[in-house]
């Protein structure tokens, strides 16, 4: 993706907020770094205007412990010792922790990996760094950050969490803890998926699960970039909701004639890239409707089924399927590249990458709150507030 700018008339205090769109491949070159240095928002990533005072740490903390991969029934609120950071790590006092579909898959043992039990779930959160082990980790102490956990450490559904210092994203002063709690999983994924469309010079894109929080982010970014898209939803009432956001083509997969309509629009728009969050037989259905040499990027598995494909599409139509995992994407970025994207994504949190928060749930009410979210995921995200 290119440099983000909101669609509005900039005031005098905002004229350095962003420039016109610039090729994403320039993120690491000297001119791009020089531009970042004189950008007020980039400076704010390094110079924190808040007090760096850190309170004394307690010996114990509350956390949600998963004792078996049996879903919500295996979650219990417990007290456990506050961990100490190892080399390269920071300890974060969690202010808000997000609950995502990937978390629900993890607690049921259906994610891409498991951790030794018992463990604390939760892949992303925001908070303040209160301790660090190493030069850069100590520099982060006192700073407001968003963070992600993917390794073997306990997750974010707790009062404190240990993370790799390089996995912390310093928050701009105007970004709240609530916004920062959902900075990584959905906004960064939406940004990265649209980068794929841009890098591959695709003329049009198809996306499934378009009514989801992430799907709506992709929609808004595509509208801004004037990238034609075909949005697929599962219920009729979701069609008008997406059209209200600016979507030109929205298809209900439960409607009669869906496959023919999808093929017609894919042919008319020359849609050669599909972004799929469902898996199962969905990638095959997409490829059958798309032109030869098309590609499906699978970034989710809402169906909880393995991808099912006929070799015919792959061999005779020169089509393909590949996966996308945010952790691998973030790990592939240089530090300047990561900070460049962090700046652009944070600028869009109040607009194109905004997250609708339905409720804020204390840890002691987490199980009931997560169960409600599980039943109505498109109604908005819930945040755990330790």
| Predicted confidence band of residue 39 (pLDDT cuts 50, 70, 90) | low
The predicted model gives 208-232 an average pLDDT of: 96
More reliable by pLDDT, 316 or 242? 242
DSSP of 198-237, one letter per residue?
A: HHTT-SEEEESSTTSHHHHHHHHHHHHHT--EEEEESSHH
Pairwise CA distance, residues 356 & 368, whole Å: 19
Band of pLDDT at residue 13, cut at 50, 70 and 90: very low
Mean pLDDT taken over the chain: 88
Query: Three-state SS across 232-276?
Result: EECCHHHHHHHHCCCCCEEEECCCCCHHHHHHHHHHHHCEEEEEE
Among 147, 169, 164, 167, smallest CA distance to 87 is for 164
Instruction: Specify the CATH class of 60-182+355-384 in words.
Output: alpha beta
Q: How much is the pLDDT for 56?
A: 82
Model pLDDT for residues 83-115, shown as the tens digit of each residue: 999 999 999 999 999 999 999 999 999 998 999
Q: Quick one: what percent of the chain has pLDDT higher than 70?
A: 86
Helix (H, G, I), strand (E, B) or coil at 63: strand
Mean local confidence (pLDDT), 375-379: 82
Q: Which fold has domain 186-325?
A: Rossmann fold (3.40.50)
Report, as an integer, the average pLDDT of 353-382.
Answer: 92
Stretch 285-293: mean pLDDT = 97
Distance, CA of 364 to chain centre: 26
Answer for the pair 185, 329: CB distance below 8 angstroms, yes or no. no
Place of tokens 């974010």: 156
pLDDT of residue 44: 56
User: Above 90 in pLDDT, residue 366?
Assistant: yes
The mean per-residue pLDDT over the stretch 243-262 comes to 96
Closest CA to 218 of 200, 198, 237: 198
Give residue limits of the domains in the chain: 60-182+355-384, 186-325
What backbone torsions phi and psi does residue 383 show, to the nearest 5 degrees? -120, 135
Mean pLDDT of 55-68: 94
Spatial separation of the C-alpha atoms in residues 84 and 53, rounded to whole Å: 18
Question: Does residue 24 surpass a pLDDT of 70?
Answer: no
Q: What is the mean pLDDT of residues 196-216?
A: 96
Backbone angles phi, psi at 217, to 5 degrees: -65, -45
343 or 151, greater pLDDT: 343
pLDDT tier, 14 (very low <50, low <70, confident <90, very high otherwise)? very low
Q: What is the pLDDT of residue 174?
A: 93
Average pLDDT over residues 73-88: 97
Task: Give pLDDT tens digits for 311-363.
Answer: 887 898 999 999 999 989 998 998 889 889 999 999 999 999 999 899 999 99
The string of pLDDT tens digits covering residues 255-287 is: 999 999 999 999 999 999 999 999 999 999 999
Burial degree of 103 (CB within 10 A; 0-12, 13-18, 19+): buried
- pLDDT at 203 > cutoff 50: yes
Cα–Cα nearest to 368, from 77, 68, 60, 62: 77
pLDDT digits (tens, 9 = 90+) for 157-176: 999 999 999 889 999 999 99
Helix (H, G, I), strand (E, B) or coil at 87: coil
Question: How many other C-beta atoms can be found within 10 angstroms of the C-beta atom of residue 246?
Answer: 12
Alpha helical stretches, state H, 311-365: 311-316, 326-331, 335-347
**pLDDT for residue 378 is more than 90:** no
Residue 51 confidence (pLDDT) above 70: no
pLDDT reading at 12 higher than 50: no
Other Cβ atoms closer than 10 A to 288: 16
Retrieve residue 207's tokens: 């996306």
Range 293-322 average pLDDT: 92
């Amino acid at each position: 993706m290119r440099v983000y700018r909101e669609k509005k008339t900039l005031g005098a205090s905002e004229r350095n907020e962003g420039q016109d769109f610039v090729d994403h491949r320039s993120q690491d070159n000297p001119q791009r770094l020089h531009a970042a240095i004189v950008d007020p928002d980039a400076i704010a990533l390094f110079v924190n205007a808040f007090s760096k005072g850190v309170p004394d740490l307690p010996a114990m903390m509350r956390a949600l412990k998963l004792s078996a991969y049996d879903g919500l029934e295996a979650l219990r609120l417990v007290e456990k010792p506050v961990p100490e950071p190892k080399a390269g790590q920071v300890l974060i006092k969690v202010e808000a922790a997000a609950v995502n579909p990937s978390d629900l898959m993890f607690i049921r043992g259906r994610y891409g990996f498991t951790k030794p039990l018992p463990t604390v779930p939760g892949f992303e959160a925001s908070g303040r760094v209160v301790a660090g082990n190493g030069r850069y980790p100590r520099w982060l102490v006192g700073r407001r950050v968003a963070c992600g956990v993917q390794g073997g450490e306990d997750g974010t559904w707790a009062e404190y969490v240990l993370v790799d210092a390089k996995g912390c994203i310093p928050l701009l002063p105007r970004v709240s803890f609530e916004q920062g709690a959902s900075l990584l999983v959905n906004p960064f994924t939406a940004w990265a998926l649209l980068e794929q469309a841009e890098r591959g010079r695709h003329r049009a894109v198809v996306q499934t699960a378009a009514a989801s929080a992430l799907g709506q982010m992709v929609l808004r970014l595509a509208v801004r970039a004037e990238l034609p898209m075909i949005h697929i939803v599962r219920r009729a009432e979701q069609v008008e909701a997406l059209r209200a956001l600016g979507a030109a083509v929205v298809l209900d997969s439960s409607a009669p004639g869906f496959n023919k309509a999808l093929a017609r629009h894919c042919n008319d728009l020359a849609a050669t890239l599909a972004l799929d969050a469902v898996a199962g037989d969905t990638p095959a259905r997409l490829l059958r409707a798309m032109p030869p040499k098309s590609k499906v990027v699978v970034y989710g598995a809402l169906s909880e089924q393995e991808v099912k494909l006929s070799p015919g599409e792959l061999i005779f139509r020169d089509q393909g399927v590949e996966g996308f995992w945010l952790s691998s994407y973030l790990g592939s970025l240089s530090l300047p590249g990561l900070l460049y994207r962090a700046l652009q994504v944070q600028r869009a949190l109040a607009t194109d990458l905004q997250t609708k928060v339905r409720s804020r749930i204390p840890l002691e009410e987490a199980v009931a709150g997560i169960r409600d979210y599980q039943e109505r995921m498109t109604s908005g995200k819930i945040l755990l507030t330790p």
